[in-house]
Structure 1
Amino acid sequence: MAKYPRLLWSESKLRDNTRFLNQLFAASVSPIGWTPVSKAVCAHEEIVQVLLAEGAVEIADSRLDNLKRIKSLSGNCRTLLLRLPGLHEVDEVVGYADTSLVSEKVTIAKLSEAAGAAGVFHRIILMVELGDLREGLLPQHVLELGRFILQQKNIDWCGIGTNLTCYGGILPTREKMEQLLDIKDSIARELGHEVSVVSGGNSSSLPLLLRGEMPAGISHLRLGESLLLGRETAKGKLIESMHGDIFTLEAEVIEVQVKGSVPEGERGMDAFGNTPEFEDVGDHTRAILAIGKQDVPIDELEPVNEGIRILGGSSDHMILDVGSSAVQIGDVITFRVNYPVLLQAMTSPYVAKVRTR
């Protein structure tokens, strides 16, 4: 018997999206590659296996636990740690991440020390701040830190990179990418060091490539949302020829009653400390689903059935106005999934993950 709530994912559509990206990058005029990002699916074993089968030679994630899972599935697949390493975890970083993104001198020194103790070289990509104000070194400080990096015996400084859109919503532009390439050139000119990787961002940078505006020399992108949801994240638009419906969420109806639309009695705060407002539409048919805010951000869900409206919920209940839909106890309601829903549903141990064809 099926277990609910559950997140369904289509293996064939995931393969299609992966192949589309492989072909897109292979057809680029200038050499550029991409790394699948598995953090939104918590490096789910079956999904990682599909990526490996479709030719992934490197997979990126922000959590060491997920990198460990990837390494357990393939000793040959390289791993990229997306979140800057914490000092407490440098020994594990050099053990499970082939490459990490860095921006701090003390972290680089600790990584070199840990790599030396392990008898390995650890690859790093130095992140540069280009306006989004998340991680990254200010451009004017790159050469100074670069001199320090080149003195570290067990560090392989393979690249530079940037992150845009995730925090400040700053869009990748050709000018931003050219700024990154100028930094690459200054490293070669002033320090005599050639970096082989210039990582131009995430799924928000993909439109530059699709429009043929990505400058030659940007050699790498880190793609999660475009791979999994078929969207570029600069404007949130579906990419032509990609699937936006690899994932759907299903939850079971556990109550159907005709009730009023405004709570009655003296009101205080709800379970999350809020004082909600309600629209008075009179008596109507309301259904309760066995899923709640502990599982997914319910306000981000979109019912497939256009006659159903999400009213709200608590930690383990979601309440719907089902209108004239013939909803009964035991029915299963299906929802479209966006990035916040995918991220939380994959993280929740209470949501089953089910592969479909």
Structure 2
Amino acid sequence: MAKFPRLLWSESKLRDNMRYLNNLFSSCAWPIAWTPVTKATCAHPDIVKVLLSEGVAEIADSRIENLKQVKSLSSACRTLLLRLPGLHEITDVIQYADTSLVSEQTTIARLSDAAKAAGVRHRIILMVELGDLREGVLPQHVLERGRFILQQENIDWCGIGTNLTCYGGILPTREKMTQLLDLKASIARELGHVVDVVSGGNSSSLSLLLDGNMPAGISHLRLGEALLLGRETAQGGQIAGMHGDIFTLEAEVIEVQVKGSVPEGERGMDAFGKTPEFEDIGDHTRAILAIGKQDVPIEELVPLDDNVRILGGSSDHMILDVGSDAVRVGDIVAFRVSYPVLLQAMTSPYVAKTRA
């Protein structure tokens, strides 16, 4: 018997998106690779297996727990840790991540010590701050940090990279990508070291490639939302030829009643400490679904039925205006899934994850 709420996903559409991206990158005039990012799916085993069956050689994630899951499915698959390593997890990073994104000197030194103790070499990509104000060293400090890296034992400095749009909303541009390439040249000229990987960002950087504005020499992108939702995230546009509906969220109706639209009585705060406002549309048919803010950001959901409107909810209830639809207890209501919905629904243990 089906369990609800549930997140349905299409294997065939996921494979289509994989193949679209593979074809896009293989058709470039210079060598450029992409790594699928599984953090929005918590490296769900069935989804990882699909990626592996499509020939993926490397998978990226922000959580060591997820990289451990990947390694349990394929010891041969390389893993890339996206979030800067915490000092408390250095031993696990060395064990489960083949490559780390780094910025801090202390962290690099600890990785070196742990890699030496384990008798392995660990690859690092030095992150560069190009304006979004999340992780990375300032461009003027790259050479200084590079000199330190080259002194570390058991560390292979394979690349430089950047992250844009995630915090400050700063867009990737040809100029910012060129800045990375200039840093690569400076590293070779001043330090005598060649970094093979120039990682130009995430799904927001994909638009540069699609528009023909990506400068030759950028050799790597890290793609999650583009793969899973078929979107470039610079402007949030759907990519022609990619599926945006791999995932659908479904929840069960547990009550249908005709009620007023404005609460009655003396009002205080709701369950989340807010004082909500209500539109008075008179008596109408309201349905309650067995899903709430503990499971998904309900304000991000879009009902597939245009006659259904989300009114709000609490931690474990969502309330709908179902208009003239003949909705009954036990019916299933379906929703389009955005990136925040996918991320939270996949993380919630109360939402089933089911292959369609």
User: Scaled by the length of structure 2, what TM-score is found?
Assistant: 1.00
Q: 1:222: Cα distance to partner?
A: 0.1
Q: 1:213: Cα distance to partner?
A: 1.3
SS in 1 for 2:92: helix
Tell me the residue number matched to 2:344.
344
Letter of the structure 2 residue corresponding to residue 37 of structure 1 = V
Question: Is 1:144 matched up with 2:150?
Answer: no
Tell me how far apart the structure 2 counterparts of residues 207 and 55 of structure 1 sit (CA, whole Å).
24
Letter of the structure 1 residue corresponding to residue 176 of structure 2 = K
Deviations 1:187-237 (A, max 9, x none): 000000000000000000001111111111100000000000000000000
Tell me the residue number matched to 2:153.
153
Q: 1:330: Cα distance to partner?
A: 0.3
- Stretches of structure 2 lacking an aligned partner (at least 5 in a row): none
Letter of the structure 2 residue corresponding to residue 338 of structure 1 = S
Letter of the structure 1 residue corresponding to residue 148 of structure 2 = F
Tell me the residue number matched to 1:24.
24
Letter of the structure 2 residue corresponding to residue 318 of structure 1 = M
Tell me the residue number matched to 1:75.
75
Tell me how far apart the structure 2 counterparts of residues 238 and 107 of structure 1 sit (CA, whole Å).
38
- Which consecutive aligned stretches of 4+ in structure 1 deviate over 2 angstroms post-superposition? none
Q: 1:51: Cα distance to partner?
A: 0.4
Alignment of 1:1-357 (within 5 A): 1-356=1-356
Tell me how far apart the structure 2 counterparts of residues 230 and 261 of structure 1 sit (CA, whole Å).
37
User: Scaled by the length of structure 1, what TM-score is found?
Assistant: 0.99
Q: 1:38: Cα distance to partner?
A: 0.1
Q: 1:6: Cα distance to partner?
A: 0.2
Letter of the structure 2 residue corresponding to residue 332 of structure 1 = I
Tell me how far apart the structure 2 counterparts of residues 237 and 355 of structure 1 sit (CA, whole Å).
26
Deviations 1:83-119 (A, max 9, x none): 0000111010000000000000000000000000000
Instruction: Let me know the Cα RMSD of the aligned residues.
Output: 0.4
SS in 1 for 2:350: coil
Deviations 1:323-351 (A, max 9, x none): 10110000000000000000000000000
Deviations 1:301-330 (A, max 9, x none): 000000000000000000000010110000
Q: 1:179: Cα distance to partner?
A: 0.3
SS in 2 for 1:333: strand
Tell me how far apart the structure 2 counterparts of residues 215 and 323 of structure 1 sit (CA, whole Å).
51
SS in 1 for 2:257: strand
Letter of the structure 2 residue corresponding to residue 14 of structure 1 = L
SS in 2 for 1:163: coil
Tell me how far apart the structure 2 counterparts of residues 95 and 140 of structure 1 sit (CA, whole Å).
32
